Amino acid sequence: MNKQLLSSFLLLLFFLCCSEKEQAQVVAKNTIQNDSLSSWVAKSESPKITEAQRKSLIAKAYQLAINTKNDTVKAQHLSLLSFKLPSLADSSLYRNINKEAIKSNYSINDSLAIGNAYWDLAFFLDRNIVKDSAFYFYSEAQKMFDGIGNESFSGQMLYYMATLQVQIKDYVGSETTTIKAIEIFKPLQDNDQLFKCYNLLGIALGGVGEFEKSLAYYKEALYYLEQLPNPSVYEASLTNNIGIVYRNNMQYSEAIENFTKVLQTDSLIIKRPSIYALALSNLATTKLYQKDTSEVKSMLLRAIDLKRKENEIGSLASSYFNLAEYNAYARDTIKALLNAKEAEKLSYESNNNERLLETWPFLAILDKKNAPEYFEKYTSLNDSLQKEERKQQNKFARIRFETDEFIAENVELESEKELLSKQKQIWIGVAIGFFLLGLSIYIIINQRAKNQKLVFDQQQQANNQEIFNLMLTQKQKVDEVKRMEQKRISEELHDGILGKMLGARMILTGLNKRATEEAIQEKSKALKSLQEIENEIRSISHELSHTAYQQINNFTDSIEELLSNNKNGTIKTFFHYNVDDNWDSLAGDIKINVYRIIQETYQNAIKHANCSTFEVTFYRNDEQFSVILSDNGQGFNIYKGRKGIGLRNITSRVNKLNGTFHIDSSEGKGTTTSVQIPLKMESKILADNNT
């Protein structure tokens, strides 16, 4: 893979890594602010102090953390030091700090803090180019984060591992690891991480010569980058990478277009001079490869000047190598040799082995006298690098395999738990289904029974109404027969017996003219007896005749008969009404419905009231007929409970008569029901009946 592409990527990665670490690292909630430890750490970050002063401040902070008695606070302090000091020059001191941070957080079982401490150590080792150890601790951190379900941190660890795999040229392994990270970030819709992952895939595929796939991944990275706020700086770096792919694929026009676009990015030379210098150098070499030497030298010299100011030693070596290529193309061998020697020197200083492997074959061509020496160096370094890369690739593969096994075990456990959970849910669902089915059947059956009972009650009510009407009709007929019979008897007594008795009296009156004393006395007695019989018969006749023409109280009789048919002998009934009122003149519907209301209330008193007396009282004036029903029973709370069918029937009957009713009751004080029926309705009912 072209070293410039990797340098570009590593430059972007280093820029992102610090800020990302600053944002993502979780420090324990209860860290004490503004204490001595925090103060020493803050002072140690000042650029104005010497390295010795910095080391002294950190050592004091470390001792304070170690001597803290409270385990939780101790772990918090050590985690803070581990997070803040990965750039510490004293490797031994930092490793001790980090080791104690991991140990303390294990003691309080804080998995998140343990994962962060592993992340800190991996970052420290990555900065110090200990790639295999850095990869291992990124892997350990990833296991921790995956174990507690922190998907974002787990995905970031996979991304860092894939980055290290690119650096040791394990492009296939890097692609696999990056895709796993993408699978985590996509559901999270983390556009920033997705941009970086697809950018890394573009670099990895470019490294194995898959230029079309590499470009496709870069375009995908560009899509996610555009979703971020202020993407211009990152876009410049990404566009530079795309230009390198085009250049490596000898599509020079497209490469020049992309490098030019980078250089035209607003304020890039101020915001990111290193990216600007890199793109400038890449544009110059691309034009050179296209055999267009215009402004190539000036661009390379300007790029060298910018890189020297930014102290970009590794990238500076590349620019000097490119300048050597330009001078060789211009047939200035001496300058080309000097530039190549400078590139060799800078490559040694920056440990840029890739640039050395490019520079030595070039020097062998320019300096034929020392060519064997250069080829020997090249062969030795190349062999050692290949061995080291294979060694690191094997280590990475073993660590990755162990990580995959760990994840697979967790996935298997999760699958078993999920299966058991699903089975449990299925059984719960089946049980709920059967319960709901049984409940539905019960509700249906119960509703049908209620409906049947309601229909039965309605039919019974209609039958009772019909029976009552028949009873009233029959009673009226009986009373009519009685009146006729009384009238007939009256007429018989008056016209028959009384006439005969009158004739006998007249005969006896004639006999009374006899003069004998005895006859006179006997006749006088007989006449007196007959006169008494006459008076008695006349009295009976008049009384029967008066009764025959008098209206009979059928309605009140029906009520009295209803109250007298009491099978519960312990309840005394009383019926109060004005005997002078013509109660039978009430409309038939009023009498029928009032009779049924009294019947219903009386039955309720017998069944539920536990009373000893039940009273019915009628009041009437020109406008209203009032019925008062009362008992001295146990009463009830009228605001509790639901209305029974009896109460609904009473309500229905009162509504039919356009009347109102009120129930007054309380527990232990009996019940009084008052019904008021307007008699204007009675006039309307009578008019309707007459019609």
Convert the pLDDT of each residue in 96-130 to its tens digit: 888 888 998 999 999 999 999 999 888 888 887 77
> CA 272, CA 11: separation in Å to the nearest integer?
11
The pLDDT tens digits for 243-253 are 999 998 899 99
- With b for 16 or more beta-carbon neighbours within 10 A and e for fewer, the 172-203 pattern comes to ebbbbbbebbbebbeeeebbbbbbbbbbbbbb
Lowest mean pLDDT among 161-165, 220-224, 472-476, 617-621: 472-476
Cα separation of the two ends of the chain: 114
Eight-state DSSP code of residue 25: P
518 vs 612, residue with greater confidence: 612
For the chain, the average pLDDT equals: 79
Lowest mean pLDDT among 147-151, 410-414, 607-611: 410-414
Lowest mean pLDDT among 310-319, 320-329, 412-421: 412-421
> CA 312, CA 276: separation in Å to the nearest integer?
12
CA 539 to chain CA centroid, Å, is 97
- With b for 16 or more beta-carbon neighbours within 10 A and e for fewer, the 126-151 pattern comes to beeeebbebbbbbbbbbbbbbeeebe
> CA 162, CA 170: separation in Å to the nearest integer?
9
CATH topology of domain 554-690: Heat Shock Protein 90 (3.30.565)
> CA 106, CA 118: separation in Å to the nearest integer?
12
Strands 613-620 and 572-576: parallel
Question: What Rg value do the Cα atoms of the chain yield, rounded?
Answer: 59
pLDDT band, very low/low/confident/very high, at 27 (cuts 50, 70, 90)? very low
Whether the predicted pLDDT of 70 surpasses 80: yes
In three-state secondary structure terms, 626 is: strand
pLDDT band, very low/low/confident/very high, at 66 (cuts 50, 70, 90)? confident
Burial of 215 (0-12, 13-18, 19+ CB in 10 A): buried
CA 274 to chain CA centroid, Å, is 50
pLDDT band, very low/low/confident/very high, at 568 (cuts 50, 70, 90)? low
| pLDDT, position 514 | 64
Which two structure tokens, joined as six digits, stand for 51? 């390295």
| pLDDT, position 198 | 92
The pLDDT tens digits for 254-272 are 999 999 999 998 888 888 8
Whether the predicted pLDDT of 539 surpasses 70: no
pLDDT band, very low/low/confident/very high, at 510 (cuts 50, 70, 90)? low
Which spans in 67-110 are helix H?
71-84, 91-107
> CA 596, CA 606: separation in Å to the nearest integer?
15
Strands 624-631 and 613-620: antiparallel
Whether the predicted pLDDT of 577 surpasses 80: yes
| pLDDT, position 494 | 54
| pLDDT, position 542 | 56
| Strands of the sheet with 624-631, listed across from one edge | 572-576, 613-620, 624-631, 671-678, 660-665
| pLDDT, position 491 | 54
| pLDDT, position 549 | 40
CATH of the structural domain 157-228, one choice from 1.25.10.10, 2.30.30.30, 1.10.287.610, 1.25.40.10: 1.25.40.10
Instruction: Please list the residues that pair with 628 across neighbouring strands.
Output: 617, 674
Are residues 396 and 135 in contact, defined by beta-carbon separation less than 8 angstroms?
yes
| pLDDT, position 691 | 44
pLDDT band, very low/low/confident/very high, at 687 (cuts 50, 70, 90)? very low
Lowest mean pLDDT among 53-62, 142-151, 342-351, 680-689: 680-689
| pLDDT, position 424 | 81
Which two structure tokens, joined as six digits, stand for 458? 């309605």
Whether the predicted pLDDT of 667 surpasses 80: yes
Which two structure tokens, joined as six digits, stand for 54? 């910095």
CA 267 to chain CA centroid, Å, is 48
Burial of 156 (0-12, 13-18, 19+ CB in 10 A): buried
